[in-house]
Every structure is written in structure tokens, then in C-alpha cells.
């Protein structure tokens, strides 16, 4: 319109079509301006232009969206409130002053409210609200910043909030009458919320991607109550706080961390705790034994109002442990009744649940830990195109992936697919993705593990659809997830260090300390940690001391009672364990790096049993970080050449036992161990470089959530002249696995 052109624009399920007609000068100007003046949320993936015959047209119009049944178009993730909307929220003269659902074309919910494409209001959960005259005027006016803002709403016509206690009249749990909520009723609800929080109550709050359980971060009794009810005995929680400045009172923040904290994705960012006496108790209580605390800023207007009323808040996902996060008011009333004292509801339906994302920073690089709200379902652009496949990931921290063309759509965090509720969530979300992105699955892929519920689900799904079912080895999938997101060349090999806790190997052992030489078609197991027994298999995950003893026994290192790993067990327990290890009864064979970290943490005396996976390793990382700059390491892994190089721990463990017995500080031993692992990575990679002429190293697998190890390994490798691939888009843990599985399957079935 500005350039006086005629033609039309139309949203369709394959993207956007614009036809303009005018002088060639003007149309050129249009094409340039179109690319240079994009609104904040727009991005151009590809632009195709062609010249057409002129038509008899007198104006420029916006045409109704058209849907095709084969083409797909990306769906935007949910975006944090923009600055303009924040200004309105705080402006006493604005008609949306303190309205909890302010949004505009540049911000607001998307993925969680979209039922189908194209993205128009009738295809969202906002369809039940009819816009008032003022809102409609904004929506229809191309010059308004709410032009075609699908969730557009105001206190007169949009959703509202209300507060109820558990004792409240059951009727109040349902939806509220539209138009009945006013600024006063919303303010009253927020006031009641604040009072409840001050009374150390746990409040279930409906947000963007589901319910949270909120409590006062400064009330130790409230946090204790929340933990007890949730059964999260020691797991770190996250806090939501007004601003980055406010967070700096209790956490250190680099420029990179601040940028991601304030980004439109607004993930939980893991920040190093600042030791101040004022916040000591809160930090210890929110994230015990951890040197980091998860911090997020409010991302919706509702959260902004809540945090303004009583900051900071502990915010944890509203679910029973291991179950999917709660979505509807009715579900919350049922499933959260034992967990929450009261509820803050709203009546904008959530169509898809989406947990908060979690990231940490390694230097300036963002390391995703959980990719969910704000990121999903932005597609990962792959280097090549291929068939459409569905990959279901592993068992824990599950997320699935569907591909179409050169796009891989990674789902939000689904959770641990170990119970029926999560399997239901998997089914529902897979169906939603297939519909949303118009995908006809040509193959289904799962992990090699025969017992995974997700693998069985995938097999059935493939059978129902009559398409091939493929299994991919766990660590090869890790390698491919990194190769895929970093668009490493398809046919060239890279040295992939895949370190994690558990992955089913082709020889039925539990792998996890794997150095593979891989490309998108195939892999070779170049080196791995030498096998050691895991007495009781998965029982070792919760009892690092068992792994420690098994490792010592494996290398014929005496069980010395001066080590707390040993003295923590009774004589009978030791006798039983020794017998079990020696006979191999119920012992899995393992090359798991995650278990080695656990075992060393136990030997050092940091922790002999844990309440969540990798707890011991996380605490060890925290200790090592304190002194790493002043510590060098003489600890050594050994390397035995064989078909695959066997990385032995004899000398390493002997050195650790010697240091621990000699009373060397825990954190020093921990730091030496971290350096030793980084050194080992570097020497195995040098070996691969010499023998195979390869120069690119990838670091993947859950162990690389350890930012200290990641940083040490990257530094060493770069100093030796290697190119290093690290995750920046999907997590190195099993949350990124599906991407690698999908890439493998596309090659297999092609
Ligand atoms: Zn906005
Ligand atoms: Zn309105
Ligand atoms: Fe894994």
C-alpha cells in the first residue's frame, strides 16, 4: 500500500503468496523492503519469485487463507510478551491496563493454542471468544500493531482469570462467564494469589503451556511442602523473578546468559549461584548441592502481574512425578488436588502442553538441556531432503521428531515414556504434529532397546500404518542428532564422542562411553570404555557406590575401608555384592561414561546414593568448577588396541583411590578427574586423526550437559587443531535423540 502497488497477499499452508503489480522500479523496491523490514517474528526460509502477466487490478487486498492438504508450513512457538505490550500493561490509561492476556502480532501464545493450520483465529482455542468492536477494529486495520493478531483480546471480550481455594464452591472451578471478568476481578484474583503465596501455600497456576505449581521462593516451609507433595526430594527447582537485575542478587550472569534469559524464548537458564548470606537458605533449598540455580523471567502478561505482586516464585511444572503436565482446569482440579492448596485459573484453552525450556551456557554458546516452550516446534533445517519419518526418541526425557522435506520438527518435551499417561501424551502429540504439518509417515523409527515402551509403541504404530519400522543404535542416534543440527556433511566421517548413562549396544551390553567414527549412513565403534559389571543393572543408577565397588573389583583394586564408598556398606552387603560381581549374577556389562562419573563421585565421597539421575555427577561438577583453574591432572586412562580401542580405568582409579586415602581435597580430585576425561578425549581423537585422517570431533550424549567437561574438552581439542561440533539446537541428552533417529531412518529406507 505504501508503494502504491496492486495485488494480494494470502496465507496458505505452504507458506505465504504475494502478488504485486506496478512499475518495475516499485516492484523491485517492494521486494527489497519485504526482506529488510520483516516484523520481529518473521523469517524467510526461502523466497521464490516469478514474473506474471498484468491483471486488471485497482487495489491491494488480503485474501482469505487457503488450505492445501499436502503442503506444510512451520508453526511459530509461543513468544514472550513484547516491550510495546508491556508498556500497555503498565499504562493506567490504556484499555488493557493490567490485562493478563495482552498480546499482539509480535508476541503471545502460538503453538500451544493452535489446533490446525493455516494460523487463523478459528483454528485456535481463541475461537470461543468473539472480538469486541475495538479489538475487531485493530484486527482489521493493516496499520495497527494488532492487525491479524489471532489471540487479540481485551478485558471486554477476551479470557479472564479467577482464584479458587480447594474449599471453594465446585461451580467456581468451571469456566467463567465471558465479559464477567473486569480489571477489578482480575486484580482481586492476583491479590488472593499473593496472599496465598505469602501464607506459604502452593498455588496451581494455569499459564501458557500448562499448569505450574508456584510457591514463595523465600519460604523454606513452602518449598519443603512442595517437594514433599511432588515427591521431588532433592531435584533442583526453578525460580521466576522480575528481571535479570533482580536475579543478579543471587546468581552470576554473563552477557550471553543475560541475552538468553531475556530472549523472546524465555527459557529457564541455569546460572551459577552467588554466595550471599541473604540468599543462602533459598539457594540451598531450591537447588540443594548444586552450584547452579534455574532462573526464568516472566514470559506472559499473567506471569508478569504475578511476579510483580510477590517475587520471586518457585515455579515447577504442574504434574505428578513422571506424568505429563496438566492442561485443563478440570484436569487440574482432579490431578493437582493433593499437590496444590489453591488454584489460579483462566479460560483460554491450552490445546497442546509445553513445559518450560532449560538451557545453560558454555562460554558464549547456548547449550540446550530441555527444548520445549519458545523453541518447539520451530523446525531444524537439515542439509538434505528425504522421506517423511517419525522418530520416537528414547525412554527418558523423551521428545519425538517428524520430518518433511528438509525440515525436522522436534516435539516439545514429552517426559519419561515409562507410564501409560506419558504414552497417551505421546500418541496425542504425534497425531497433532502429523495433522499440523500435513505429514504422511513413510517409516517409524525407535531405539534398539527391546524393553523401551516407546519402541513398542512405535512398532505398533508402524504396523497400524503399514510402513517400515526401523531401529537405530542409541549412540549412533546421538551422533546423528549432532551431525544433523550442525549440518555436517552427509558422507564425510567425523569423530563422535557419545558419552551418556545408558544406551543399548549391538552386543546387548550397556554402552555409554563410545567414540564412534560416523557419517549419516554408518558408524564404526572406534573406541569405548572398557566393560565393567553393573551389579543389579539399573540399580546402579540410584546407588553410585555399587558402581564404584564394581569398578574397583573389575580392576582388582582392594576395597579399602578408608574409602567412604566402602565403609558406607555393611559387611553383609559387601559380601553379597562381591559374590554378585564375581559370579556375574544379574550383572550387566557396561561401558557407560555416566556410570563412571557416578562411581568417581562416590569414591571421592560426594554421594553414594542419589534421588535423580546424574545427581552425583552434577555435584561433582560443581565442586570441580571451584578449583579447576588451579588444578592440573596426572590421572590417566589407558588405551588397549583391539578391534575397537579399549579405554581402561585401572591407573585412573588407582590414582583417585590414592589421593582420596591421602586426604586430598574432594574438589581437587574432582577437578583432576574432569581434566583426565578431557585429556583422554583428546588423545583418542588424535589417534583417530592419525589413522583415519579426520579432523572434526563431535561432543554429544547426556554427559556433555556437564558444562565444565564440555568446556575443557572443547579447549583441549581446539588447541590441538581440531574442529569441534557441539549442540546448540537440540539437547545432547536423550531429548535430542529423535532427531538422530530420524536422520538414520531416512537413509535406511531411501
Ligand atoms: Zn506484543
Ligand atoms: Zn476486546
Ligand atoms: Fe543417551
Q: Please say if the pLDDT value at position 514 is more than 90.
A: yes
Q: Residue 81 has what DSSP assignment?
A: P
pLDDT of residue 169: 63
Write down the pLDDT at residue 182.
Answer: 81
Ranges assigned E (strand) in 37-175 = 60-66, 161-165
Whole-number Å distance, alpha carbon 49 to ligand 1 midpoint, is 31
User: How far are the Cα atoms of 315, 588, 707 from residue 450, in angstroms, in the given order?
Assistant: 36, 15, 32
Q: Residue 725 in 3-state DSSP?
A: strand
Under the banding of pLDDT at 50, 70 and 90, the label for residue 517 is very high
Say what the pLDDT of residue 171 is. 60
Closest by CA position to 192, among listed 176, 168, 217: 168
- 454 neighbors 446 (Cβ within 8 angstroms): yes
Rounded CA-CA distance 617/599 in Å is 9
Task: Please report which residue ranges of 72-182 form alpha helices under DSSP H.
Answer: 83-90, 133-140
Sequence-distant (6+) residues with CB within 8 A of 126 are: 113, 150, 151, 152, 153, 348
Of the bound ligands, which one is closest to the alpha carbon of residue 613? Answer: 3
| pLDDT given at position 154 | 95
Is residue 635 within 8 A of residue 672, CB to CB? The reply is yes
Closest CA to 698 of 456, 432, 492, 506: 492
Which one of the ligands is nearest to 452 CA?
Answer: 3
- Whether residue 167 has pLDDT greater than 90: no
Q: What is the rounded average pLDDT of the residues 641-652?
A: 96
User: What whole-number distance in Å separates Cα of residue 383 and Cα of residue 365?
Assistant: 22
Q: What pLDDT does 11 receive?
A: 79
Specify the pLDDT at position 172. Answer: 59
Mean pLDDT of the chain: 93
- Which residues make up the environment of ion ligand 3, defined by Cβ < 5 Å? 500, 503, 734
For the CA of 146, the nearest ligand: 1
| Band of residue 69 on the pLDDT scale cut at 50, 70, 90 | low
Task: Evaluate if residue 191 carries a pLDDT over 60.
Answer: yes
Residue 174 has what pLDDT?
56
Are 569 and 577 in contact by the 8 Å Cβ rule? The answer is yes
What pLDDT does residue 12 have?
A: 76
Cα of 151 to ligand 2 centre, how many Å?
A: 11
The ligand that comes nearest to the alpha carbon of residue 139 is 2
Read off the pLDDT of residues 453-470 as tens digits, 9 standing for 90 and up. 999 999 999 999 999 999
Q: What is the pLDDT of residues 312-363, one digit of tens each?
A: 999 999 988 778 899 999 999 999 999 999 999 999 999 999 999 999 999 9
Q: What is the model's pLDDT at position 177? A: 53
Per-residue pLDDT reduced to its tens digit, 198-228: 999 999 999 999 999 999 999 999 999 999 9
Confidence at 44, pLDDT banded by 50, 70, 90: confident
pLDDT at 181 (0 to 100): 75
Instruction: Point out the ligand nearest to the CA of residue 129.
Output: 2
Ramachandran assignment for 231, one of left (phi > 0), alpha (psi -120 to 50 degrees), beta (any other): left
pLDDT at 537: 83
Provide the pLDDT confidence category of residue 73 given band limits of 50, 70 and 90: confident
How far does the centroid of ligand 1 lie from the alpha carbon of residue 316, in Å?
Answer: 25
- Give the residue-averaged pLDDT of 685-710: 97
- Name the band, by pLDDT with cuts 50, 70 and 90, for residue 419: confident
Lowest mean pLDDT among 199-208, 251-260, 532-541, 575-584: 532-541
pLDDT at 16: 87
How large is the average pLDDT for residues 638-659?
A: 97
C-alpha span between 726 and 495 (Å, rounded): 12
Tell me, what's the pLDDT at 20? 95
- As a whole number of angstroms, the distance between CA 300 and CA 86 comes to 10
Mean pLDDT of 168-186: 67
Nearest to 492 by CA among 653, 383, 397, 398: 383
pLDDT of res. 183: 82
Omega prior to 445 cis, within 30 of 0: no
Cα 11 to ligand 1 centroid, rounded to whole Å: 21
The answer to whether the Cα torsion of 362, 368, 370, 374 is positive or negative is positive
Cell numbers given for 429: 502429540
Band of the pLDDT at 173, cuts 50, 70, 90? low
Nearest ligand (C-alpha, residue 149): 1
Q: What gap in Å lies between CA 110 and CA 539, rounded to an integer?
A: 42
Residues forming beta bridges with residue 313, ordered by sequence position: 216, 240
Q: How far is residue 550's CA from residue 569's CA, in Å, rounded to a whole number?
A: 13
- What predicted TM-score, i.e. pTM, was given to this entire model? 0.94
Cα of first residue to Cα of last residue in the chain, in angstroms, is: 47
The model's pLDDT over 136-156, given as tens digits with 9 standing for 90+, comes to: 999 999 889 999 999 999 999
Q: How far is the CA of 104 from the centre of ligand 2 (A)?
A: 13
**What is residue 67's predicted lDDT score, i.e. its pLDDT?**
67
Q: What is the 181 CA–ligand 2 centroid distance (Å)?
A: 12
* Cα(123)–Cα(117) distance, integer angstroms: 7
Which pLDDT score is estimated for 488?
87
> Would you state the pLDDT for residue 1?
85
d(CA 650, CA 590): 15
Distance CA 549, CA 542 (A): 14
Mean pLDDT of 718-740: 97
Tens digits of residue pLDDT in 15-37:
789 999 999 999 999 999 999 99
E-strand ranges in 297-406 read: 313-317, 342-346, 358-362, 365-370, 380-381, 389-391, 401-404
CA 504 to chain centre: 23
Amino acid at each position: 500500500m505504501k508503494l502504491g502497488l496492486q495485488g494480494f497477499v494470502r496465507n496458505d499452508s505452504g507458506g505465504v503468496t504475494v502478488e504485486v503489480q506496478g512499475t518495475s522500479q516499485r516492484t523491485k523496491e517492494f521486494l527489497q523492503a519485504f526482506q529488510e523490514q520483516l516484523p520481529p517474528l518473521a523469517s524467510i526460509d526461502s523466497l521464490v519469485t516469478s514474473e506474471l502477466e498484468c491483471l486488471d487490478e485497482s487495489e491491494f487486498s488480503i485474501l482469505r487463507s487457503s488450505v492445501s492438504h499436502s503442503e506444510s508450513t512451520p508453526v511459530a512457538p509461543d513468544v514472550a510478551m513484547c516491550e510495546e505490550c508491556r508498556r500497555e500493561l503498565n499504562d493506567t490509561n490504556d484499555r488493557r491496563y493490567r490485562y493478563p492476556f495482552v498480546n499482539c502480532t509480535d508476541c503471545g501464545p502460538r503453538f500451544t493454542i493452535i489446533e490446525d493450520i493455516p494460523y487463523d483465529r478459528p483454528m485456535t482455542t481463541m475461537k470461543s471468544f468473539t472480538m469486541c468492536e475495538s479489538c475487531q477494529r485493530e484486527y482489521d486495520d493493516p496499520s495497527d500493531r494488532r492487525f491479524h493478531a489471532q489471540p487479540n483480546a481485551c478485558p471486554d471480550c477476551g479470557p479472564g482469570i479467577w482464584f479458587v481455594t480447594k474449599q471453594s464452591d465446585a461451580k467456581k472451578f468451571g469456566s467463567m462467564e465471558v465479559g464477567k471478568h473486569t480489571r477489578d476481578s482480575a486484580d482481586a484474583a492476583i491479590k488472593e494469589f499473593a496472599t496465598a503465596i505469602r501464607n506459604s501455600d502452593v498455588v496451581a497456576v494455569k499459564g501458557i503451556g500448562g499448569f505450574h505449581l508456584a510457591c514463595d521462593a523465600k519460604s523454606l516451609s513452602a518449598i519443603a511442602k512442595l517437594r514433599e507433595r511432588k515427591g521431588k526430594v532433592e531435584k533442583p527447582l526453578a525460580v521466576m523473578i522480575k528481571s535479570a537485575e533482580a536475579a543478579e542478587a543471587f546468581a552470576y550472569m554473563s552477557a550471553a546468559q543475560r541475552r538468553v534469559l531475556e530472549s523472546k524464548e524465555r527459557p529457564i537458564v541455569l546460572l551459577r549461584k552467588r554466595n550471599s548470606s541473604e540468599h543462602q537458605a533459598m539457594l540451598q533449598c531450591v537447588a540443594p548441592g548444586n552450584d547452579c540455580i534455574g532462573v526464568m523471567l516472566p514470559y506472559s502478561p499473567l506471569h508478569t502481574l504475578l511476579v510483580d505482586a510477590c517475587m520471586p516464585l518457585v515455579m515447577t511444572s504442574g504434574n505428578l512425578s513422571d506424568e505429563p503436565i496438566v492442561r485443563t482446569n478440570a484436569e487440574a482440579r482432579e490431578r493437582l488436588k493433593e499437590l496444590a492448596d489453591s488454584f489460579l485459573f483462566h479460560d483460554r484453552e491450552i490445546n497442546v502442553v509445553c513445559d518450560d525450556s532449560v538451557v545453560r551456557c558454555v562460554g558464549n554458546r547456548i547449550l540446550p538441556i530441555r527444548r520445549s516452550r519458545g523453541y518447539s516446534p520451530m523446525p531444524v533445517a537439515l542439509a538434505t531432503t528425504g522421506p517423511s519419518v517419525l522418530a520416537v526418541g528414547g525412554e527418558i526425557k523423551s521428545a519425538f521428531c517428524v520430518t518433511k522435506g528438509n525440515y525436522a520438527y522436534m516435539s516439545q518435551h514429552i517426559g519419561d515414556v515409562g507410564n501409560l499417561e506419558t504414552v497417551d501424551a505421546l500418541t496425542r502429540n504425534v497425531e497433532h504434529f502429523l495433522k499440523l504439518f500435513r505429514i504422511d509417515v513413510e517409516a517409524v523409527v525407535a531405539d534398539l532397546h527391546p524393553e523401551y515402551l516407546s519402541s513398542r509403541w512405535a512398532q505398533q504404530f508402524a504396523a497400524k500404518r503399514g510402513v517400515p519400522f526401523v531401529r537405530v543404535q542409541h549412540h549412533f542416534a546421538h551422533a546423528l542428532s549432532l551431525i544433523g543440527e550442525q549440518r555436517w556433511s552427509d558422507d564425510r566421517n567425523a569423530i563422535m564422542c557419545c558419552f551418556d548413562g545408558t544406551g543399548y549396544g549391538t552386543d546387548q551390553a550397556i554402552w555409554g562411553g563410545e567414540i564412534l567414527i560416523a557419517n549419516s549412513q554408518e558408524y564404526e565403534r572406534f573406541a569405548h570404555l572398557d566393560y565393567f559389571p553393573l551389579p543389579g543393572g539399573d540399580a546402579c543408577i540410584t546407588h553410585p557406590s555399587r558402581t564404584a565397588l564394581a569398578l574397583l573389583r573389575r580392576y582388582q583394586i582392594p576395597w579399602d575401608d578408608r574409602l567412604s564408598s566402602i565403609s558406607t556398606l555393611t559387611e553383609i552387603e559387601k559380601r553379597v555384592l562381591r559374590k554378585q560381581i564375581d559370579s556375574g549374577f544379574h550383572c550387566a556389562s557396561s561401558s557407560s561414561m555416566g556410570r563412571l562419573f557416578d562411581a568417581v563421585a562416590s569414591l571421592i565421597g560426594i554421594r553414594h546414593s542419589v534421588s535423580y539421575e546424574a545427581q552425583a555427577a552434577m555435584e561433582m561438577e560443581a565442586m570441580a568448577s571451584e578449583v579447576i583453574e588451579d588444578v592440573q591432572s596426572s590421572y590417566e586412562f589407558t588405551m588397549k588396541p583391539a578391534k575397537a580401542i579399549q579405554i581402561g580405568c585401572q591407573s585412573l582409579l588407582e590414582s583417585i583411590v590414592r589421593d582420596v586415602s591421602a586426604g586430598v581435597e574432594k574438589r581437587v580430585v574432582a577437578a583432576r578427574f574432569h581434566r583426565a576425561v578431557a585429556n583422554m578425549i583428546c588423545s583418542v581423537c588424535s589417534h583417530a586423526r592419525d589413522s583415519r585422517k579426520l579432523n572434526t570431533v563431535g561432543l554429544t550424549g547426556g554427559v556433555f550437559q556437564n558444562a565444565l567437561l564440555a568446556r575443557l574438552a572443547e579447549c583441549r581439542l581446539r588447541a590441538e587443531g581440531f574442529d569441534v561440533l557441539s549442540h546448540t539446537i537440540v539437547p545432547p541428552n536423550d531429548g535430542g535423540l529423535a532427531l538422530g533417529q530420524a536422520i538414520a531412518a531416512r537413509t535406511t529406507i531411501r
